[in-house]
Structure 1
Amino acid sequence: MADIQYLGHSCFRLRGRDGIVLTDPYDRSVGRDLGRPTAHIVTVSHHHPDHDNVVAVRPARDRVTVIDGPGEYEVGGILITGVRTFHDKQKGARLGRNTVYVIHLDDIVFCHLGDLAHELTAQQLEEIGSVDVLFVPVGGGETIGPAEAASVISQIEPRVVIPMHYASEGQSAMDLAPLDRFLHELGIKEYVPEERLSLNAGNLPGDGEQTRIVVMRTAV
């Protein structure tokens, strides 16, 4: 059973039997205080202050392992693959590169898109592979917006989608669209935010079932 908490912006805390993974910790420029979450592993999609505040993370045991680029990693039984993408539509010429992470935790495959700013190529999709849970930016600005996010979801075909990186109350102005625009793009009118999500192979949508969209409430 893998437990998921949303800590705001693009930061999630994934807890499984082999450890805790924290994605894209942010600094106070976001307008929130991340606090001092614990983790065994931290993934950093790109080196901007609102995605790489690694010093805020406390080690769950003796140290924190930081993963900040493409490649294949194994830490304490947790498998992670970093896939090179870009933070803009000019192949990184303006804002640099971005790493998408595929995280294997408790028999579930998570995919965190970071600040992806384009649709994926066939090669990138092959490297990402089959995904159970997709964390996707939906607010636009320097990432994909609502319509592009819907297209990327169609490319990856995950079982569960959790939106991130959108305008929210208490967050500093970052030229991001609100969550409702993404939900409108998918035809979703009503939803109940989840405080915490626990997933295993048995409660994921099955083959042929519709992708489940889960909105998570910020835990900090």
Structure 2
Amino acid sequence: MRHARRLAFAAALLTLALPASFAQAQSPQEEPVPSRCVAIAEGLPQVTYANFAPAGPLAVQTFVDGDVTITYAGHSTYVIETPSGVRIATDFSGHYGAEPLPRVVTMNKAHRTHFTDTPDPGIEHVLRGWNPDGGPAKHAVVVEDVYIRNVPTDIRNWGGLEPDGNSIFIFEVAGLCIGHLGHLHHHLEDEHYGAIGRLDILMVPIDGGMTLSVGAMSDIAKRLFSSIILPMHRHATPLGEFTGRMGETFDVRLSEERSFSVSLRDLPRRPTILVLRGV
């Protein structure tokens, strides 16, 4: 019932999409691009919402129906390929997901394996999860058929927690809401969940200590209750330690492939932990 309600609500939202011919950029004073993920979450109880501001002029997202292909490249890097061919690499250090060169990369600065100071100049959009000038990073970027935004989180350092040092990145494409938790170092508050909204696909680190404990990560994943959960950043953690904590509500599927394709129409009816080859 919950899955059917979400699909029906998403379908209603898609009928409100602007025509593809409208591509006028917004000024910084205008409202940010509407988030379908947050709008879908409005139908769910006990959600607190937070506003985010655009980082600069925004173009209108062109909705393109079709499959999104997701590939596990290594460590915390997943490569997302949109129906229109936009290639995105998450937590990009240059070691994984660099060929073919992505148009968009996201980064977090917890360790050198999650960012690079020297990204290839051919990468069109380099989105850092922290603001080098201080304060939270603010991204609200449209590239053809994908809208990319971030929710800042704190990061551990030698002095404790550094406010807004990392980000959760969210990719809205083909009606899907895809979230990458990055190098998350603390539990999420209601305001974080509200800013994230609904996630159909969740990429979650399960290293068990460098980010958060497996128990804490499973609590976050269970609350977000995504249709597909993609573990990453596993290191030596036994997969059963994470899947067992998720409980019988979640199916578990081990794939012999590094990639899969998915659309809004064929999300699994039962929430599924999908372990791609290499994880």
Distance in 2 between residues matched to 1:35 and 1:140, nearest whole Å: 24
Distance 1:186 1:155, change over 3 A: closer
Counterpart of 1:102 in structure 2 is: 170
Distance in 1 between residues matched to 2:175 and 2:158, nearest whole Å: 36
The equivalent position to 1:181 in structure 2, one of 209, 224, 241, is: 241
Greater relative contact order, per chain length (Cα 8 Å cut-off, separation 6+):
1
Matched, 1:46 2:125: no
Q: Does structure 2 conserve the Cα–Cα contact (< 8 Å) formed by 1:106 and 1:200?
A: yes
Distance in 1 between residues matched to 2:185 and 2:110, nearest whole Å: 15
Q: Does structure 1 conserve the Cα–Cα contact (< 8 Å) formed by 2:227 and 2:267?
A: yes
Q: Does structure 2 conserve the Cα–Cα contact (< 8 Å) formed by 1:107 and 1:201?
A: yes
Greater fraction helix = 2
Structure 1 unaligned segments of length 5 or more: list them: 28-32, 168-175
The equivalent position to 1:5 in structure 2, one of 65, 71, 90, is: 71
The equivalent position to 2:218 in structure 1, one of 140, 150, 159, is: 150
Give the superposition deviation at 1:217: 1.1
- Same amino acid, percent of matched pairs: 25
Give the superposition deviation at 1:121: 0.6
Amino acid at match of 1:177: T
Matched, 1:86 2:148: no
Give the superposition deviation at 1:73: 1.8
Distance 1:66 1:35, change over 3 A: closer
1:198-209 equivalences under 5 Å are: 198-205=261-268, 209=269
Distance in 2 between residues matched to 1:89 and 1:149, nearest whole Å: 20
Q: Does structure 2 conserve the Cα–Cα contact (< 8 Å) formed by 1:134 and 1:161?
A: yes
Give the superposition deviation at 1:58: 7.8
Q: Does structure 1 conserve the Cα–Cα contact (< 8 Å) formed by 2:83 and 2:174?
A: yes
Cα RMSD (Å) of the superposition? Answer: 2.9
1:175-194 Cα offsets, whole Å, 9 max, x none, are x5343321232358974224
Q: Which has the larger radius of gyration?
A: 2
Q: Does structure 1 conserve the Cα–Cα contact (< 8 Å) formed by 2:148 and 2:171?
A: yes
Normalised by the size of structure 1, how large is the TM-score? 0.79
What SS is found at the alignment partner of 2:147?
strand
Counterpart of 1:34 in structure 2 is: 96
